Amino acid sequence: MMNNKFEVFDNMNKLKFDSRGLLPAIVQDDATKEVLMMAWMNAESFELTRKTMQAHFWSRSRQELWLKGATSGNFMNVSKMLIDCDADTLLLLVKATGPACHTGAQSCFYRKIRA
């Protein structure tokens, strides 16, 4: 274990995609650390994100790749890609050019559940 340092993860064959070939990707604002959204990545969207440093995802409903911001203009420029200890969840630190949520909210997590 390392203190306050990042270990390099460079063996993409060790990524643990689920039975549908997907990894959950949590997107966080690099400056504020606010969680902006969660989306799914397949191997192709992961590689596109890694190569372009712009967030690409897999749409389960449309069954297609999508570049975040392609239609809205609200792109997510990736500062850092992190993988969790089990290699089954991604964390993208981003600089967003606009709201993350399709509703226009800054974050998709804008509703509090009543306790």
Read off the pLDDT of residues 46-95 as tens digits, 9 standing for 90 and up.
999 999 999 999 999 999 999 999 999 999 999 999 999 999 999 999 99
List, in order of start, the domains of the chain with CATH numbers. Answer: 20-96 (3.10.20.810)
Residue 8 banded pLDDT, cuts 50, 70, 90: confident
**What's the CA gap between 49 and 55, in Å, rounded?**
5
* Mean pLDDT, the chain, whole residue set: 93
**Distances in Å between the alpha carbon of 24 and those of 1, 4, 35, 91, 113?**
23, 24, 14, 9, 22
Check residue 24 and give its pLDDT.
Answer: 98
Least confident of 1-5, 12-16, 54-58: 1-5
